[in-house]
Amino acid sequence: MSAPSPYGFASARLAASAIRQRIGTELPVAGIVLGSGLGGLAQRIVAAVSMPFGDVPGFPTVTVVGHAGQLIAGTLAGRQVIALAGRFHMYEGHDAALAGFSVRVLHALGARTLFVSNAAGGIRRTFRAGDLMLIRDQLNLTGRNPLVGALEPGDERFPDMSEPYDNEYARQLGAHALTLGIPLQEGVYGGLLGPTYETPSEVRMLAALGADAVGMSTVPEVIVARALAMRVAGISCITNLAAGISPHPLSHAEVLETTTRVASRFEALVERFVERLA
Ligand code: HPA
């Protein structure tokens, strides 16, 4: 029998109660995780109260450039939301359970819908840097799983993963994109541990396995969300073509440059999604 996880149900409840003391007790219609360079959505949140991750019990401080490391609560399109500008990655040396812990905290705060976003490399040949991709499924190629360990209260022991990203949410996002005139690709997100970008051979392997985009986050969050029966919507910002497809070396600077370019389209889409959420 393993010891209780420091990133489990009890710790999430503790974190949620500290957050509520700061931001109030209004229930969020959604929790939103903002990926690298996509934190600008926080500026659209009205009457926002923010809390640095360092003030949340159980959260370590964020180390990645392009990630603010703040929790922001307030209204987006008139709806109460809680956004996380920044996340915990396994390549920083964090446990898979910590990578999923922020989702447990959002759940403890009352969120039953999770919106995830990330920067990703484009594998599918028709993708271009700057495309937004509706995530339809994921490949967990991290070698880790955030649910390993003692069963947490409220978790499924063997969560069904046949619809990790909610079909109805995907349909809604497709419709919103059409209405707003935002081109939207769709595909499968391949999640790797990182922190190296892939080799060209690895990218060919990922393509053969069915990945349309590749990144280093999101997968543990979505696994935890499904274990808690949360419904998930997800968007990848294709910030670059993956290694071997891109004509030049990959860099985090390019990733952030592209997210800046597409931020307003991304934000408009998330805002509409939240506005129309039942
Ligand atoms: N590979 C992995 N992660 C990424 C990439 C990539 O090409 N681009 C942005 N995040």
Question: Ligand 1, atom 7: nearest CA belongs to which residue?
Answer: 121
Domain boundaries, the chain: 9-275
Top mutation candidate among 123, 197, 201, 204 for ligand 1, by most atoms within 8 Å of CB: 197
Instruction: State the pLDDT at residue 15.
Output: 97
Distance CA 230, CA 105 (A): 12
CA 274 to chain centre: 15
pLDDT over 70 at 2, yes or no: no
| Mean pLDDT calculated for residue range 228-249 | 96
Question: Ligand 1, atom 9: nearest CA belongs to which residue?
Answer: 120
Active site residue 233: no
In this structure, whether the domain defined by 9-275 belongs to CATH 3.60.21.10 is answered with no
Query: What are 12-21's pLDDT values in tens digits?
Result: 999 999 999 9
Reduced to 3 states (helix: H, G, I; strand: E, B; else coil), residue 251 is coil
Contacts of 197 (CB under 8 A, 6+ apart): 121, 242, 243, 250
| Mean pLDDT calculated for residue range 23-51 | 93
With 0.75 as the threshold, say if the pTM is over it.
yes
Contacts of 193 (CB under 8 A, 6+ apart): 90, 91, 141, 142, 143, 144, 216
| Cα 121-124-126 angle, rounded to 5 deg | 110
Active site residue 168: no
Distance CA 207, CA 89 (A): 23
Do 145 and 155 contact (CB within 8 A), yes or no? Answer: no
Q: Counting every residue, how long is the chain? A: 278
> What is the helix (H) or strand (E) element at residue 34, kind and residue range?
strand 30-34
Distance CA 124, CA 44 (A): 32
